[in-house]
Structure 1
Amino acid sequence: MSRPRASLRTAVVWEVLREALDDRVKATGREALDVLDTGGGTGNFAVPVARLGHRVTVVDPSPDALFALERRAAEEGVADRVRGVQGDAHGLFEVAERGGYDVVLCHGVLEYVDDPAEGLRNVAAALRPGGILSVLAAGLGGAVLARALAGHFTEARRALADPDGRWGGGDPMPRRFTPERLTDLITAHGLEVAAVHGVRVFADLVPGALVDAEPGATEALARLEEAVAELPAFRSIAARLHVLARTRSASVPSAKEAE
């Protein structure tokens, strides 16, 4: 069975994340991990993570998204393992526990917060010793390439020169990152970068009609995305950047954590 084209947007991230969850399970000896999903919205990652048996807290500023999350979790039979709370990265510890999570997801957050450094500091502080952070953010190179291929050469050049990687006043994205800027931001907050992946290197550039018309094209495109995800030359032009990081100090889980 071929995968849905929409899954191309998250396939690379999901494979990396699932392996990281397995590693954390082995390291702690606990089958059920505590996972925090900041900006998790309707549960695109939270629900699949809960299906693996883990407990997930989703923090999101949108009540509508949290309502959809609750409904989705119930439909998938994981309502007892998914908890949604209204909040954001700025006031994270008003709704989440400091140092209380094995894994923290920060997907599509750093582009929008007023202060990415503060947002990163908070999500890093939510991790337990030896915990894992998954960051997904908009990539500058992918936006420049997309504007150039669309014939908007001045906008492409403007994005390169802009401190936030924006191509103009009509740009809907508040901020974009290069791989170097994103990894520097993460390591500055006491984390070790384990892997950097380019996400949607080709998927956003290939016309949907072309993929849909060719039998097996979606699966072939997915395999191509996986093949180039870790290659520096390609991740620098990806629409999204994914970084997996870990806290530098690891310790044996406490009795409370092992329950």
Structure 2
Amino acid sequence: MSDPLRPRASLRTAVVWEVLQEALDRRTKSADPASGGVLDVLDTGGGTGKFAVPVARLGHRVTVVDPSPNALFALERRAAEAGVADRVRGVQGDVHGLFDVVERAQYDAVLCHGVLEYVDDPAEGVRNAVAALRPAGTLSLLAAGLGGAVLARALAGHFTEAQHALTDPAGRWGKGDPVPRRFTAEQLSELVTATGLEVGAVHGVRVFADLVPGVLVDTEPGAADALLRLEAAAAELPAFHAIATQLHVLAERG
């Protein structure tokens, strides 16, 4: 997401952005008045800043932890172009070694987006993300969904791969699968509740966007906006969590 307001980018990110923005607004209203309404946000695996920069535009301070120097360089450039370089800090590291580069219990919100698919121990990753939260903190967790991958392989005619993903412990469709691990909504929720956080909401992300031909969205008048509305309407319905490309869990302390 180079910008949450760009329609083409929003097809893949609008649901998460809307939920996250509302959560940050709620956290701002309940924050210590001495903070001036400015939150400290940690974005683990935040890469080039597709969420960090828009969050900084809201006026918050954002620390991005990512293992890629190239991604952090792109983050610095993007933050500067957006005029928020003073509110965005990039640090090289990962969620397993999180407290080698940031302090515990210092953040009002932690974003853990597109991380759990690639780490050796997802449970440890979630525990570290939660340990970075202040007592009244918010966790935003986004990970690859199993059902979306199964549906996509089946619609592409790869029926054996679709069936393999259904039975594979990691949700992979084969050796050529670029995603190391996928989750169900129940699995993600269990990882969160095991840390003591309460799951506030679960959303299906990219339920339809990855299945609709891009040429249709780009050329049919009003198609992009209509698809955005459809994604938003389906996101909260549990029936569609099972076919979403990604799953988003929002959780809070107490």
**Which range, TM-score by smaller chain?**
over 0.9
Counterpart-to-counterpart distance in 1, 2:9 and 2:132:
30
Give the equivalent residue in structure 2 for 1:130.
136
Residue number among 216, 219, 222 corresponding to 2:228 in the alignment: 222
Matches within 5 A, 1:82-97: 82-97=88-103
How far apart in 1 are the matches of 2:53 and 2:217? 28
CA–CA distance in structure 1, aligned partners of residues 29 and 22 of structure 2: 11
| Structure 2 SS opposite 1:10 | helix
1:42–1:66 contact (8 Å) kept in structure 2:
yes
CA contact (8 A) 1:109 1:137 kept: yes
Equivalence for 2:237: 231
CA distance in 1, matches of 2:233, 2:73: 37
Count of paired positions: 247
What residue number does 1:256 align with?
none
Q: The residue matched to 2:210 in structure 1 has which SS?
A: coil
The answer for the alignment partner of 1:75 in structure 2 is 81
Structure-1 residue corresponding to 2:42: 36
Partner residue of 2:251 out of 239, 245, 251: 245
Instruction: Using the aligned pairs only, state the percent identity.
Output: 79
Alpha-carbon distance in 1 for matches of 2:67, 2:251: 25
2:208 pairs with 1:202: yes
- 1:163 maps to which of 166, 169, 172: 169
In structure 2, the residue matched to 1:177 is: 183
How far apart, in 2, do the equivalents of 1:68 and 1:89 lie?
20
Aligned-partner residue type, residue 82 of structure 1 = V
Amino acid across the alignment from 2:81? E
Aligned partner letter, 2:252: R
Structure 1 residue 6: deviation in Å? 2.0
Residue number among 20, 44, 47 corresponding to 2:23 in the alignment: 20
Match of 1:153 in 2: 159
More divergent stretch after superposition (208-217 vs 36-45): 208-217
Amino acid at match of 1:38: T
SS at match of 1:186: helix
| Gap runs ≥5 in structure 2 | none
Separation of aligned partners in 1, 2:199 and 2:128: 17
Q: Distance between the aligned counterparts of 2:107 and 2:6, measured in 1?
A: 31
> Structure 1 residue 3: deviation in Å?
4.6
Indicate if the aligned counterparts of 1:3 and 1:219 stay in contact, CA closer than 8 A: no
Q: Residue 173 of structure 1: SS of its match in structure 2?
A: coil
- TM normalised by structure 2 equals 0.96
Instruction: Quote how far apart the aligned CAs of 1:190 are.
Output: 1.1
Runs of 4+ in 1 over 2 A off after TM superposition: none
Write out per-residue CA displacement over residues 122-141 of structure 1, whole angstroms, 9 at most, x where no aligned residue: 00000001100000000000
Which residue is equivalent to 1:11? Answer: 14
Residue segments in structure 1 that go unaligned for 5+ positions in a row: 249-259
C-alpha displacement of 1:144: 0.3
2:55 counterpart residue number: 49
Question: More displaced, 232-241 or 22-31?
Answer: 22-31
CA positional deviation for 1:4: 2.4
Tell me how far apart the structure 1 counterparts of residues 241 and 9 of structure 2 sit (CA, whole Å). Answer: 20
Is the 1:50–1:78 Cα contact (8 Å) retained in structure 2? yes
